[in-house]
Structure formats: C-alpha cells, structure tokens
A and B are shown apart, each in its own frame.
Chain A
Amino acid sequence: MSKKYCVYICTGCGIGDTLDIDALTEIPDDEGVNCKTHQFLCGKEGVAMIQKDVDDGKVNAMVIGACSKRVNFDVFNFNGCIVERVNLREGVVWPHSREKYPALTEDQKDDSAYCDRIQMKASDYIRMGMVRIEKVKLPEPYKTQTFSRKILVLGGGITGISAALDAAKAGFEVTIVEKQNKLGGYAANMRSQMPVQAPYEQLIPSVIDEKIAELQQYPNIEVKTSTEVARIAGQPGEFTVTFKKPGEKVPFDVPFPLPPEMLVDEKGKELDAEAQHVKYLEFNKGKEDILTLDPNGELYGAVILAAGWRPDDIKGNNAYSHLGVDLPDVITNDQFEKIAAKGKIVRPSDGKEAKSVVFIQSPGKDEDDADFPYCGSVTSQVALKQAKYVRNDYTDGKAYIIYQHMRTPGLQENFYKSMQQDNGIFMSKGAVTSVTQSGSELIVEAQNTLLGKNLNIKADLVVIAAGMVPVTVDDPVINLAYRQGPGFRDNAIFGGYADSNYICFPYETQRTGIYAAGAIRRSMTIDESIEDAAGAALKAIQCIESANRGVAVHPRSGDMSFPEFFFQRCTQCKRCTVECPFGALDDDAKGTPKANPTRCRRCGTCMGACPERIISFADYSIDSIGSQVKAIKVPSEDDFDEPPFRILALICENDAYPALDMVGMNRIDYSPDVRVIPVRCLGSVNTIWIKDALAQGMDGVILIGCKHGDDYQCHFVKGSELAQVRLKKIGDALASLALEEERVRFEEIAIDEYDKLPELLSSFVKELEDLGPSPFKGF
C-alpha cells in the first residue's frame, strides 16, 4: 500500500493546557507530514474530520496523539488504515503537571539551563508514533492450504461422547476415537449415578446409555473403537491424524524427544547438536520424522482431549499400609463399583454378603486431613452413593463413612443431606488409624470421631476412596508430531492434569487447537464432565472458525499478523523453535524453523528469541520497535547544561501498560524522562533494542512484565520468564560497551499494583543518576 500520512493531535482533556501544541505540530510539519489538531478528537466532529480525510483518499496511515490506546479503541478505528495511538493523555499530561514542571518562558526556551521535560516527552512520543506507521504494514490473514472443519475427540467416555454430541448439534462433523472395544468408559461400569437435581433422594441410572443411544441420531458422528492416535501432525484447521490399533507399532508413531539422560555423554557433558541428532534418529528408529505427513492420514480442524482417568493403584503402597490395603477385603471405590454393578455387594475373599462396610476418605491418620491424591470432591460423593448401595442391597446393612472433610460443594450438599436421613448410614469426621484382619472380619480403628474419641468398627468390607489419576500422568495421549514433544508442556505443575493455569481462561492449553475436558483436567463427577465437554467443544469450534478466518485465538483474538522469516539469514540456532510457548514452530533436520501459523498466538516470543533478527510480524517487528527506540531524542551537553536522563521502558501491554495508565488516571507523577514502548509480551523483546538504546546514549532500560513462576500471570506462559533469562545474558554485551549492568533492569508487576509503578520507575532513575550519565551521549 502506498502510505498517506497524517498526524492528528487532540487538545482536549488537558493536553492543550499542558503542552505547546504549536511546537508539537512542527514535528510532522518538519517531515512534510500533514498535522491537524482538534479540541475534542474523539467527539463526533473530530472523528468525522478524520473519516473525511480517509474517505477522500488523503490518509491511510495516521498517528492519533490523544488518549491511551486502551480507550476509544472503537472510535479511532478506520477501516483499511494503519492507526498508531500516541498516549499524550494518560502517558504525558495526566501524570506530569505544570505545577511540578512549569512551562518555560520565551527567554528560557533559548537558554540551555532550562528544558521542558513534559514537552520533550510528548515530542518524543509523536516522533515514535510517526516512525512506527512508516515501518509497519497492515496484516493480511493467513490461510492454510487445506482446511478441515472436522473435530477429533480422543476418548469415548462420558466426556468424549458429550463433547461429540455438543459439537454435532452445532453442525460439525466429529470422530470419536476410543481405545477400548466399546464406548462408555467408567460411566458404563457403574451401577448408578448420584442424583443431580431435587429432591436428591434416589440414585439414578447412569446417563451413559442414553448418551450412547443419542449418538445414533447424528450421522455426522463417526465412532472408531479399538483405535488410538499414532500421531497428530500439522496445525489447527489442517491436523493430519494417523490412527492405529492400540499397542500396534506403525511408521507414523510419533517420535519422542530424547530423554535428558541421553542428551549427555558418559561423563555428563552435553552432546553437540549433531551427536544429539544421531542419537535422536537411533532412539526413534523406524518412525517417520515429524515433518513427514502421513499420506493416508485423515484431516481434522481441532481436537478435544477427553481421555479421562484411571483408578489410583493403592495396593502395595507403603504409605497406606496402616489401612490394610493388601488385605483381600480392603478394596478401592472403583473395585467396589464393579462389584456393585454385577449384583449385590459381596466380599472378594469369600463371596459373603458384605453388610457392614466402612468407607475411608483420608489416609493421613491424625497428622494430615487431606483426602487421597486426585480425589477432588468426587470421592466424597462416590462414598455417599456407594453407602446407599449397601443400604439398598440389605435392609440390615450398615455403611460407615469416616472422613476428614465431607466434600459436597454447591448444590450437591442436598445429596449429602438426603443421605444423612438414612439411619443405616453413619458418617463421622475421624482419623482412621488402622485396618486389621480379625478372623473373617476387618477391624477399623478411628480416632477423634464425632461418635467418640476412639472408635472400633467391625466390617465385612473396607472401601478406600482412591483418586482418579488423569491418564496424562502415564502417557501424552495426544501424540503430537511437534518438535517440542508429543504432549502438553508443563503438566507437571498441575500434577499431571492437562489443565489450564488460568482461572479466567479454563480451556487454555499450550497447544492451540487442542482442548482438554473432563477428568483429565480435574477430578469431576459425570455431571461436571458433561458440562465441561460443552465448553471444550465450543473452544474447538471457535478455533476452527478462527483458523478459517486467518485470525488468532485468545488472548490476541482476531489478530491477523503472524511471524514471517527471512530464511537467508537463519543460522539454524533453533532458539525460536525451543522458546515458543505454544510449540508453534517445528524445524527440519538442519534446524531451519517451519512455522505453523494457525498454532501461533502472535506473542512474538520467536521474534525476541532470534539472534539474527529475521522474524517479524506485519505490524510488529524488530525494525518497527527499533526505529521507535531510535526516534527518542537523547539530549547531551551540547543541548543543555544539565541534560535530562533518558530511560527506555519496554512494558507488557497486557498488564503493566494498563497499570501505568492507572498511574496517569490517578495523576501520580513519576520521572518524565522515561519513554514507554508497550510490547505484545516481554517474550517478544529482542535484546538488540536494549543495546541500541544504550548505544545511542540512553542512560538505562527497564523491562516491566508479568509475574512468572508456577503461578505465572503471563498471558503467553513464558514471556516474562524468558525476558529475564535473556537479560541475564546481556551483561557481556554491556561490559563490551563499558556499561554497568545496573543500567538494565527487569521488574514484575501485576495489573493492580499501579501504586508501585511510580516509585519503581523513579527509584530506577535515581539509581541511574547515581551511576552518572551514559558515556555515549552526544555521539
């Protein structure tokens, strides 16, 4: 596009009162760029003025010097135009007042003893905005070569079936893949299900049969039993999936990355890339490379992971030996359910009717009140249900539930209450200290119960509330043909669950287009799993629609830009492939990256990683930000007797930038010598910008991003963490410039900590002042 520039400056909201607008308009004037001012630019008249310029074909790339880009987004939105918002309001005139920084008199303006620090900030921002619109392009959507709208559901249990039905009802084609030879999963092995609505008194038949029957009504649902996924290759909108028989070895089985112990030699020294590659090929012998597409593979648009759980194995676990877990009549809730599904409750040891059954909810004696691992609140509810089986089978049956905390959250409290009405179900808080065999009976001892200090119960059968282990603990299941490996990353911080780290965004995964649902994310009841499946189905559909439109999914929803590579200069260092939080990049045998744009979330982490600076987005690049940095004027002693410092702040636009806007809104001052550039994510910060800033005489650079660690708040998972790692490595470069490493700082801030920002920035400036000005000024 041939660009036609204009700068619009709003003088409302105090901008015109604080700044010398004429001086500001001279900046574009000097460059031969048209500049217009308006006292109420976001008003009807102001917008109409801009729209007319656009309609008349006079302008298609504009700087709007007014309020923060966070407000009036919809107002300053002109179709087909590049719009750069320059934050004169929240960023300049609101935090910095004329009371604190008086305007210069005419005499002072020519006197090198004086400088107008507010005006200088505004001028820099206008220059930075102007250079940006010169450097960026309007993004065009990426379209995949082939496209499928089909949804693949992994797992034919209650969650998978529900997800398939929900997607089919929205008009989508679905394939369910189930490892077993029939559908239904654990829900099909149950005698009954707990009630989910008033009056919560009777157990109900499992809904699974009804759901399986419902599948028949949908010709757009295909079911593949006795099947599993060998690999899923490609990207959302065009995943190529290879199916196989469970346990079968096929050439399109996904290759696994080398385990850590194979990356080193006998002495523990890391092998070089070539040696590692040889080992990798050996390790994955007989398997096709991830970039080889299976010609017989089937195309899918998105994937729902509903592979569920397995019962925790407690036999032989020493931690539970006091509970007699190796005795024949001490069984898990899952084993109990299977017995109940077959008929009356009987003992495994001798088939005798089990009329006295104790349900143990917590293993920790009096030392720990936690339930068994992977329980959630499900096992409390299962115990209530199973206690009812005992009562339903035997009029003289007795069920005892010994718990630390009865977990029936929300409306399920009603189920608990209705079970309390049954005088054959005894429930008590208590710490079970031992389970022992005495003849043909079991003796359960418990302490500190509601029924007495010490309790002795004679039981026919003891049921342990073992947890539901997500199958992702054992196996990646999704078998992605991704260079970063076949499973979700970082499941370890969720205890093996394929869960999201975000409270606000429960379906977020680090693998775009693959959404987990049901007990693989969290222990869930049948009812909760059905509900969860609907959400995952929506996300799968949404990802397909977004990929089809060529736009990003959350959190940069709708973004059409994607990374582009200038391969001639690629050194195959693989940093982009390794650092991408979403595994969006693969690489070939040489290490040249292969982009998968529909996997990409547009955070720019690859751009920040690349030492050769060959990765860019249409509207966000090394050059666009680098040029903004270079547009900042660094005053020297040639200009002023005491030139003010210049500090570059590269800050996360998601959290730190809004927080800085709050500082402005609350009219809190901080050093006006800081120049702020919002970035997509700190992960996108390339250290060249920092070096450039320092080389042109800026006194310091500060990066402000989101909190990282296991409870990371970074919307792109690893961005702020990576930025900090990269900064640690910048020390050498600074030393070569004879600069102190204190000139570069990294800070974490949460969006609500705006009150900390002014002090944080001012203290950094103070520290720089103590170091003295940069020696590079004036060069």
Chain B
Amino acid sequence: MTIEKSALTSGSIMIVGGGISGITTALEAAEVGYEVLLIEKEPSLGGRVSQLKHYFPKLCPPTCGLEINYKRIKDNPKIKVITMAEIEKVEGTAGNYTVDVKISPRYVNENCTACGECAKVCESEIADEFNFGMNRKKAAYLPHNMAFPSRYVMAPSMSADDRAKCKEVCKFDAVDFDMQSKNLTFKVGAIVWATGWKPYDAARIDNLGFGRYQNIVTNMMLERLASKNGPTQGKIVRPSDDKAPATIAFVQCAGSRDENHLPYCSYICCMASLKHATYIREQYPDAKIYIYYIDLRTPGRKYENFYSKLKQDKNVFFVKGKVAEVSEDSSTGNINLVAEDTLSGEKVRQTVDMLVLATGMQPSLSDDKPNADLQFNPDGFVINDFKKGGMFAAGCANKPADVVSSNQNATGMALKAIQTLVRR
C-alpha cells in the first residue's frame, strides 16, 4: 500500500493532502476503479481532523470515520499512499501531468512493527507540534495512537547517542539514519489538491494578546487540551498553573471577518466554540462560559438544534460584541478583557480564568504556493476552473468549510478528476 519508487501511472489520479478531504477523494475515486496516489506531507494521514476530539454537531470522534477509511484504503490495492512527501513541481496539461515529488527521510523503514522499543530507549525530546507545542515528546515517536501508517518516525534532531541506542534496540533493523531524502517522478492524468488549512496565526492579532499571556489559547489548542491523547490527557486546564478554569470566554471571529487579517468568514468557528462549550461543561458542571460574537453562524437544522440546546444552559452567555483589548492580571494569571457590546454600545469589562481565541482557517497554500498551474483568489484559496479541468481543489483548499461539506466537495472532485481521464 505504501510505495517508494517512481512510477508511470498515466490514467491515474494524484491527490495532494491526506486529510479528511484527500482521503475521501482518494477512496471515492479508487472505489469506482481508478488508480490513486495519495501524497501526504506528514508522517501519517488524517490531517486536521485527527487533532479533533469530537466533530460537531454529533460529538462523535473523528477517528471513528478515519478508522473505516483506513480500512477501506488497506482493502483497496488501487490506492497507494506516500507519506512525508511534498510536491516539487507539476508540469503538463489535463490528462497528462508529470509530477516531481520529494520524500523526506523518516529514518525508519518498512520493517517497523510499531513495537515502540525505540521510544523506550530514546531520551531526546522534541516539541509536540501535534499538540501545538504544549508538551514535549520523544524524538522517536508514533505520531499518535491511531496513526496510519502505523510506523514510527525519528526526528532529525535526535542526539547521536540516542540514534545509536534506537538503532541497537530495534530487533527488526527498521532504524536507518542513512536514509536520504529522495525525488520521485509520477505521471498522472488528474490532480486533486486537498491541501487543507492551517489555523490563522493568533500571534498576528496583536490586540488579543496570544503569545503574551499564557492563559490565552486558540480553539485548536483547546481541542488538544480536551483530547485524551492530548498534552493533559483530556483535562481542560489553564496553561499557567494547570488549574481548572471557572470562567472561560471565547472570542469569535479572532482574525476572521477582519480586513486586517482574514476578510472572509471561516465557517467553522461558531460551531467549534459551541462544541467547546460542551467539552467544558462535561468537565466542569458549574463553569461560566461567555461567547463574544458578531453573528452566530449555525446554519441548517442540525447546527441550529445544537445551538438551541446549548442556549438552555444557564451558564453559557452569548454577548454580541467584539473583544477589543486584553490584559493579564500578573498575580493570578487571569485575563481582563474589554469588549464593546454592539447592541447597547457600552463597554463590557470582564475578568476570566481563561480566554479562547476562535481563530479561523487559512488555506495551507496561502503562503506556500506550489509550482503548478493553479489559480488562487487573493486569500490563497484555489479557484476551480472546471472548463480547463485536470486539476481541482477539494475541501478547505478551495474554500472555508466544515467537515461534512468538505467531504461532499471531495466526493464531487473525485468525479471531476475521473471526467478528465474519461475525456481522453
């Protein structure tokens, strides 16, 4: 299922990005009967959704669907997965592309059985980016419990001493520090870009204090704090003192709908904060939760029901207003915020134990445009040109969207890719 050599597979479809959209496009096309190459830059598939505790509005774990999808991938010889791989260059036209792919060394070969002996002996640690750097992990690691492929990775920063120890302890000769990055070339008929999104850098929103005050976290960090496989084993606590927060405020549109940052609406943040309120409520029955918003965008029956259920909670307060300033009470680590209540026009001052910035989504390709004939809108989302065909963006590479819409879109893009191949 994983391949490591160049191949001539014209008539096949390449999917760039192994998050939920890319996985969906890959599976839907392969189950029609097409050859599919799935390219992922991280060591395992799953992308952003694998960092989530639950999906809204069902509050079900993303790993449930991922597990089924991984099983479908394992069952289907038509799908080839390449991890730690990035696109260097795309040349050619619809139906006939030549793609250069660069694969970074994992320092672990296919002999790895994920037994974990290397991690036991390795003492070097690295910041755990899966948890947004909130903790450190061994430099020999499995990305997470459900990682697919289930194979360890050695961080390049590992000490020479540890490298020797890891190599020695591995009974299967799977550790290989001589591994070099390599370049492969593929011929494919169509390409679907499912490169997804990244959380908008909250440090750039100067007035909201992220990075200056410890108890201001982003919504994605809260997601990791609430997850059992996260840095606190699922306990939502303040970063400064690991204390249980009694009052938590959410700042909606932190960076979104803002000409200075992201001019568009990021689609998911309202529902995400409502979902986060349920995480907090589950752990802290009496915690007070304040949500500062411009408009609550909970479109559709399912989302509307979720919102109206949360409105029954007497300790969740919705304030129509924009948070303008924050400061820290240095003795307690509490956060003081100043917001303008849009309706009364009055200034609201509040002190909370923890502040969550509902930061939006930025397309992954916005700052790092690939060497390919793609058209972008000013925000970095790929504009699909169906008349031209050949290359398409799916999911959040194309526009801000929730998971269900991304999957719809990704399914449709599988068909657009197939149409490109059929036409020739």
Question: Measured between C-beta atoms, what is the minimum distance from B117 to chain A in Å?
Answer: 9
The answer to the question of A107 belonging to the interface, with a C-beta cut-off of 8 Å to chain B, is no
Q: Is A642 an interface residue (CB 8 A)?
A: no
- Whether the pair B383, A538 counts as a contact (CB closer than 8 A) is no
A538: which B residues are within 8 A, CB to CB?
28, 32, 411-412, 414-415, 418
The answer to whether B295 and A13 have CB atoms under 8 Å apart is no
Which one, A264-272, A496-504, A738-746, is touching chain B? A496-504
A414 lies within 8 A of B297 (CB): no
Task: Say whether B160 faces chain A, with CB atoms less than 8 Å apart.
Answer: no
Contact between B264 and A410 (Cβ–Cβ < 8 Å)?
yes
Q: With contacts A414-B264, A534-B416 known, is A376 near B300, CB below 8 A?
A: yes
Contacts of A555 in B (CB 8 A): 68, 72
User: Chain A: which residue is nearest B301 at the CB level?
Assistant: A495
**Across the interface, do B343 and A752 meet the contact criterion of CB distance under 8 Å?**
no
- B23–chain A nearest beta-carbon distance, Å: 9
Whether, in the assembled complex, B265 has its beta carbon less than 8 Å from a beta carbon of chain A, the answer is yes
Alpha-carbon distance A374/B58, docked complex (angstroms): 19
A:334-373 near B, CB below 8 Å: 368-371, 373
Q: Which of B66, B113, B264, B302 contacts A411 (CB 8 A)?
A: B264
Interface residues of B in 393-411 (CB under 8 A from A): 399-401, 403-405, 407-411
> Which residues of chain B come closer than 8 Å to A752, judged between CB atoms?
53, 61, 63-64, 227-229
Interface status of B145 (Cβ within 8 A of chain A):
yes
Report the separation of the CA atoms of residues A578 and B113 in the bound assembly, to the nearest whole angstrom.
45
Whole-angstrom CA separation of A403 from B299 in the bound complex:
14
Specify which chain A residues have a CB less than 8 angstroms from the CB of B58 in the assembled complex. Answer: 501, 503, 711, 713
Bound CA–CA A553/B64 (angstroms): 18
Is B102 in contact with chain A by the CB < 8 A criterion?
no
B248 smallest CB distance to A (angstroms):
22
Q: Restricting to A521-536, which residues have a CB under 8 Å from any CB of B?
A: 522-523, 528, 531-535
In the complex, how many angstroms separate the beta carbon of B71 from the nearest chain A beta carbon?
A: 8
CB-CB nearest in chain B for A169: B419
Tell me, yes or no, whether B374 is within 8 Å of chain A by CB.
Answer: no
A655 to B64, CA, bound (A): 6
A665 to B144, CA, bound (A): 11
Distance between Cα atoms of A539 and B28 in the complex (Å): 8
Residue ID in chain B nearest A528 by CB atoms: B405
Q: How far does the alpha carbon of A494 sit from the alpha carbon of B378 in the complex, in Å?
A: 37
Contact B263 A557 (CB under 8 A): no
Does A42 have its Cβ within 8 Å of any Cβ on chain B? yes
Evaluate contact between A376 and B299: CB separation under 8 angstroms. Answer: yes
A residues within 8 A CB of B400? 409-411
* Nearest-Cβ distance from residue B235 to partner chain A, whole angstroms: 12
Question: B342's contact among A13, A450, A522, A750, by CB below 8 Å, is which?
Answer: A450
Q: Which residue, A410, A522, A553, has most C-beta atoms of chain B within 10 A?
A: A410
Q: Which residues of B contact A546 (CB under 8 A)?
A: 31
Question: Is there an interface contact between B265 and A654, defined as CB atoms closer than 8 Å?
Answer: no
A14-B115 in contact (CB<8A): yes
Return chain A residues, CB-CB under 8 Å to B418.
170, 538, 541
Partner of A504, one of B28, B68, B146, B423: B68
Which A residue's beta carbon lies closest to that of B378?
A: A198
Contacting residue for B409 out of A407, A531, A542, A549, CB 8 A: A531
A388 at the interface (CB under 8 A from B): no
Minimal beta-carbon separation of A688 from chain B (angstroms) = 28
- Interface membership of B372, Cβ < 8 A: no
Would you mind naming 6 contact pairs between A and B with Cβ atoms under 8 Å apart? A42-B113, A197-B383, A429-B320, A507-B411, A662-B146, A665-B114
14 additional A-B pairs beyond A405-B297, A535-B409, beta carbons within 8 Å, are A377-B297, A409-B297, A501-B58, A504-B64, A504-B66, A504-B403, A531-B412, A545-B31, A546-B31, A557-B76, A655-B67, A665-B114, A707-B60, A711-B60
